[in-house]
Amino acid sequence: MLKKIGLVTIVVSGMAGLANAADLPPVESDWVFTLAPYGWAIGVNGNATVGRLPPEVEFDVDFSQILNHLAAPPVMFVGEARNGRFSIGSDLIWAKLSDNVQTPRGFFARDVEGTLEIASLTGIGGYSLWYGDGGNLDVVAGARMWSVDIGLDIKGERGLLDDLLGGHSFGRGDTWVDPVVGLKGRANINENFYLAGWGLIGGFDVSDDKLMWDVMGTVGYDFNDLFSMTLGYRSMGLDYRRNDLAIDAEFSGPLIGFVFNF
């Protein structure tokens, strides 16, 4: 049975305090574009199975130690195009982590270096159920494409497979697409501060992904109409099993974002 992997992201409400329908201003007719690169200190905690040998291994990387486990600089950004109540959004994540992983009770192998490379690209369309000067609450639907690669390098010390397979490497990877639905929104606190975030769920046993979920919440500050900064937290879960690859993981940690509007 796979354990959870700590990797995930942040439900930001942004629902309360929105204007009543009677107070809504005319819907804007011009498109507004947003691009937000961000840094996410991803923590990973959970289990994965790669082929038949070796057996299930455990990843455990705390977000506070992420700099010690990054195998390459990550790439992450959010984009949105909005025209009044209608919006199109995207989210891109690519990260590669490494860690000394464990097999059950260390019997099969005690010295195993594991690498986890994960990429996801999300595209969603949204419609604002509430929209006004106070913020917006959107219902969204779309798809998320995943690409996951897991590699195991058995060094060769004190385990059954260490003796048999020391110096050998194993690897599995897969790419699939999940449907996603959810809510995203923004609530303006005053002229400068605001809350923003989303909650997404998907998978539904499509492409052998039993379930994926993604929640993010941030507090932002508008410096002007063109630039703002956000601080928050994100948590994301993934439960996928197909052929010789299985992963049940959570990815979570704090984030900082830089938001550009044009």
pTM: 0.80
The pLDDT score that the predictor gives to residue 64 is 82
Q: Determine the average pLDDT of the residues in 49-74.
A: 78
Residue 191's region, left for phi above 0, alpha for psi from -120 to 50, else beta, is alpha
What's domain 21-261's superfamily in CATH?
Answer: OMPT-like (2.40.128.90)
The pLDDT score that the predictor gives to residue 109 is 53
Q: How does pLDDT run across 204-261, given as a tens digit for each residue? A: 887 666 789 999 999 999 999 999 999 999 999 999 988 778 899 999 999 999 999 9
Nearest of 195, 254, 185 to residue 221 by alpha carbon: 195
- CA pair distance 73, 76, nearest whole angstrom: 10
The pLDDT score that the predictor gives to residue 158 is 52
The pLDDT score that the predictor gives to residue 206 is 78
The pLDDT score that the predictor gives to residue 34 is 98
Q: 165: part of which helix (H) or strand (E)?
A: helix 160-165
Nearest of 194, 234, 230, 262 to residue 93 by alpha carbon: 234
The pLDDT score that the predictor gives to residue 162 is 47
The pLDDT score that the predictor gives to residue 135 is 96
Say what the alpha-carbon torsion angle 19, 22, 23, 25 is, to the nearest 10 degrees: 110
The domain segmentation of the chain, as residue ranges, is 21-261
Nearest of 93, 108, 95 to residue 57 by alpha carbon: 108
